[in-house]
Structure formats: C-alpha cells, structure tokens
Amino acid sequence: MSARKLSQGFAVIFSAPSGAGKSTVCRKLLQKNRNLRFSISCTTRAPRPGERDGKDYHFLSLEEFKRKIHRDEFLEWALVHDHYYGTPKRFFDDTLSDGGIVILAIDVQGAHSIRRKRPQTVTVFLLPPSWRSLRERLQGRRADAKEVVERRLANAKGELSQARYYDYLVVNDNLAEAVSQIEAVITAERLRVGRQDLSLDGLPDLAAGRR
Ligand code: ADP
Ligand code: 5GP
C-alpha cells in the first residue's frame, strides 16, 4: 500500500488483562509492519526466561527507576502487580514528531494518563475469548508462580471494567485474525485527515494536474 508520510505521527496503546496476548500481538504486528515502532517500557520486575534487556523492557533497579521519575523522563509510570512500569517520554515524542507510529503495551492506568497528556492517542483493548482461556494462557506461559497467576487473574476483573473507555475492542482468539483487525484500525487511523500533510507540496500529482 502506498502511504504518505504523516505530518504528525500517532500512538496506539494496547491494554488487556495479563495473559490475554498483548506481547504476542505486538510482536506479530512489528514483524509484519516494519513502519511501526515499539515503545520499550522501563520496569523494576525481573526478566522472564527469554526476555531481553533493551528489547522487551529496560530492566531497572528500583533506585534507577526512581531517578528517572525525578528527572521527569517518563510520559507516565505506574505500579502494576507490585512492580513499577514506565513509558519513556523522549522516544514517544521524538517518534511522533518524525511522523512515526508508536505502539505500546501498557496497563489501563498508563493508557488513561497518556490519553490525558497526548489526546490524539488511539486505544485498543484486547479481550481474551473466555475466562478459561485467560487462565490457561497465564498458566501455559509457565513464566509466573501460581500465586502470581492468581493475583493477575484477580486484577483482570478490574482491568476488564475499563474496556468501555477504549476506542476499539479486539478479541484475541485467533491470533492472525486479531492482528488483521488491528491492522485495519491502524490503516484507518493513518488516513485521518487531521494526521495528513495537506500542503500542495505533499500532493505532487494533484499539483501537476492543475497546471
Ligand atoms: P500478555 O502480554 O497480555 O501478558 P502474552 O502475549 O504473554 O500475554 O500471552 C500469554 C500466553 O498466551 C502466551 O503463552 C502466548 O503464547 C499465548 N497466546 C497469546 N495469544 C494467543 C492466541 N491468539 N491463541 C492462543 N494462545 C495465545
Ligand atoms: P508484564 O509484567 O506481564 O510484562 O506486564 C504487567 C502489566 O504492566 C501489563 O498490563 C503491561 O501492559 C503493563 N505495562 C508494561 N509496561 C508498562 C508501562 O510502561 N506503563 C504502564 N502503566 N504499564 C505497563
């Protein structure tokens, strides 16, 4: 698809209860769409097996995280499931100024706070197909202890109640289908008039047709 450079980029936030598939969906989207940029969050939680520092997260000590808070380096930060998580401000703003599209996998508090500060942000809530599948996915990931899984399931109820405040709802049942629905959302958001450069310089064919 031919795509004009945006005058101003935009961000797409994905939220979902833990285990619903945010990381999996984002990974697939990034593989398929080279123009998307992933916002790598900072966190104080320990890496899971297979996670890499600087790719999945910036893994920080509590002291390092607090220093960044004091230096105002986060667009938002929150305490989620007993650990701190934060969105680096500079990457977000620089990518948008450059006409890029940033995708973020962050919790409902983070989504709310970014929306307040950067109102053009698009929000997508991912739903698991059922409670049963959510439990199975959390257990199947084999990354968290039993009590951590139970805490994440308990938190899921509160997170789901926030889904109504999002722009889009996508059920992550079949992964390929969910990804293709999200691609449709991003394509439509990209085409919003407000995001386009409307100067004639940006419309070479039209300008030529007038001569
Ligand atoms: P989150 O980032 O929301 O916590 P993950 O992306 O880690 O969730 O997914 C949790 C587990 O569910 C992983 O083991 C992942 O492979 C699996 N999973 C994700 N999406 C699907 C899907 N559409 N169908 C089946 N399993 C999935
Ligand atoms: P996990 O530990 O499973 O990777 O993430 C736990 C929760 O923290 C998920 O809901 C995830 O989306 C959220 N999260 C990850 N990064 C950020 C962030 O930068 N800010 C906020 N507010 N939440 C985040």
For residue 198, is it within any domain? no
Averaged pLDDT, groups of 10, the chain, 211 residues long: 75 94 95 96 94 96 98 96 95 96 96 97 96 89 80 88 96 97 97 83 59 46
> Kindly report the CA angle at 140 between 47 and 143, in degrees rounded to 5?
15
Q: Is the CB of 86 under 6 A from ligand 2?
A: yes
Domain count, the chain: 1
- CATH number of residue 112's parent domain: 3.40.50.300
Asked if 191 contacts 147 with a C-beta cutoff of 8 angstroms, the reply is no
Q: Is the CB of 137 under 6 A from ligand 1?
A: yes
For residue 77, is it within any domain? yes
For residue 48, is it within any domain? yes
For residue 102, is it within any domain? yes
Interval between CA 175 and ligand 2 midpoint (Å): 20
For residue 206, is it within any domain? no
Q: What is the pLDDT of residue 7?
A: 77
Question: Which ligand number lies closest to the CA of residue 155?
Answer: 2
Query: Cβ–Cβ contacts within 10 Å for residue 191, how many?
Result: 12
For residue 2, is it within any domain? no
Structural domain containing residue 38: 10-191
